A = this chain, B = another copy of it.
Amino acid sequence: MPYFDAASSLPLHPVARQALLASVDEGWADPSRPHREGRRARMLLDAARETAAEAVGCRPDELRFTSSGTQALHTGITGALAGRRRAGRRLVVSAVEHSAVLHTAEVHERAGGLTRQVEVDRTGRVDAQEWARALGEDCALACLQSANHEVGTVQPVEEVAAVCAEAGVPLLVDAAQSLPWGPVAGDWSLLAGSAHKWGGPAGVGLLAVRKGVRFAPQGPVDERESGAAPGFENIPAIVAAAAALRAVRAEADAEAARLRALVDRIRARVPELVPDTEVVGDPVRRLPHLVTFSCLYVDGEALLHALDAAGYSVSSGSSCTSSTLTPSHVLRAMGVLSEGNVRVSLPPGTPESEVDRFLDALPGAVEGVRAHLGAGAGTAAGPAPSGAASEITVDARGKLCPLPVIELAKVIEDVPAGGVVRVLADDEAARLDIPAWCEMTGHAYEGAEGIEYRVRRVAAGA
Query: What residues of chain A have their CB less than 8 Å away from a CB belonging to chain B?
Result: 1, 3, 5, 8-12, 17, 20-21, 24-25, 28-30, 33-38, 67-71, 74, 99-100, 103-104, 106-107, 194, 196, 201-205, 219-223, 230-237, 301, 304-305, 308, 313-315, 321, 323
Q: Is the CB of A11 within 8 A of B28?
A: yes
Which residues of B sit under 8 angstroms from A11, Cβ to Cβ? 25, 28-29
Q: Is the CB of A9 within 8 A of B36?
A: no
CB contact between A220 and one of B106, B220, B305 (< 8 Å): that residue: B106
Q: Is the CB of A12 within 8 A of B33?
A: no
Q: Is the CB of A103 within 8 A of B304?
A: no
Q: With contacts A17-B24, A28-B9, A234-B202 known, is A308 near B69, CB below 8 A?
A: no
Which residues of B sit under 8 angstroms from A70, Cβ to Cβ? 222, 230-232
Q: Is the CB of B103 within 8 A of A220?
A: yes
Q: With contacts A237-B203, A323-B223 known, is A8 near B20, CB below 8 A?
A: no
Q: With contacts A8-B33, A12-B28, A67-B67 known, is A74 near B233, CB below 8 A?
A: no
Q: Is the CB of B305 within 8 A of A194?
A: no
Q: Is the CB of A74 within 8 A of B220?
A: yes
CB distance from A218 to the nearest CB of B (A): 8
Q: Which residue on chain B has the smallest CB distance to residue A231? A: B68
Which residues of B sit under 8 angstroms from A74, Cβ to Cβ? 219-220, 230
Q: How far is the CA of A407 from the CA of B232 in the complex (A)?
A: 39
Q: Is the CB of A232 within 8 A of B34?
A: no
Q: Is the CB of B20 within 8 A of A33?
A: no
Instruction: List 30 A–B pairs whose Cβ atoms lie within 8 Å, in order of A's numbering.
Output: A1-B36, A3-B37, A5-B35, A5-B37, A5-B38, A9-B29, A9-B30, A11-B28, A12-B28, A34-B301, A34-B305, A35-B304, A67-B67, A67-B68, A67-B71, A67-B231, A68-B230, A68-B231, A68-B232, A69-B231, A100-B230, A106-B220, A107-B219, A201-B236, A202-B236, A202-B237, A203-B231, A203-B234, A205-B231, A234-B237
Given contacts A3-B29, A196-B232, 13 further A-B contacts (CB under 8 A): A5-B30, A5-B33, A5-B38, A11-B28, A34-B301, A67-B67, A70-B222, A70-B232, A74-B230, A202-B232, A202-B236, A203-B234, A234-B237
Q: Which residue on chain B has the smallest CB distance to residue A108? A: B220
Q: How far is the CA of A100 from the CA of B219 in the complex (A)?
A: 11
Q: How far is the CA of A370 from the CA of B74 in the complex (A)?
A: 49
Which residues of B sit under 8 angstroms from A203, Cβ to Cβ? 67, 203-204, 231-234, 237
Q: How far is the CA of A99 from the CA of B221 in the complex (A)?
A: 9
Q: Is the CB of A35 within 8 A of B313?
A: yes
Q: How far is the CA of A38 from the CA of B219 in the complex (A)?
A: 32
Q: With contacts A25-B12, A220-B103 known, is A315 near B68, CB below 8 A?
A: no
CB distance from A234 to the nearest CB of B (A): 3
Q: How far is the CA of A24 from the CA of B235 in the complex (A)?
A: 16
Q: How far is the CA of A201 from the CA of B12 in the complex (A)?
A: 17
Q: How far is the CA of A35 from the CA of B5 in the complex (A)?
A: 9
Q: Which residue on chain B has the smallest CB distance to residue A24? A: B12
Q: How far is the CA of A17 from the CA of B25 in the complex (A)?
A: 9
Q: Is the CB of A29 within 8 A of B8?
A: yes
CB distance from A13 to the nearest CB of B (A): 10
Q: With contacts A203-B67, A203-B234 known, is A35 near B308, CB below 8 A?
A: yes
Q: Is the CB of B233 within 8 A of A104?
A: no
Q: How far is the CA of A202 from the CA of B25 in the complex (A)?
A: 12
CB distance from A243 to the nearest CB of B (A): 14
Q: Which residue on chain B has the smallest CB distance to residue A77? A: B220
Which residues of B sit under 8 angstroms from A3, Cβ to Cβ? 29, 35, 37
Q: Which residue on chain B has the smallest CB distance to residue A67? A: B67
Most buried by B among A5, A222, A234: A234
Which residues of B sit under 8 angstroms from A202, Cβ to Cβ? 28, 232-237
Q: How far is the CA of A119 from the CA of B53 in the complex (A)?
A: 45
Which residues of B sit under 8 angstroms from A194, Cβ to Cβ? 232
Q: How far is the CA of A106 from the CA of B220 in the complex (A)?
A: 7
Q: How far is the CA of A270 from the CA of B109 in the complex (A)?
A: 58
Q: Is the CB of A34 within 8 A of B236?
A: no
CB distance from A99 to the nearest CB of B (A): 8
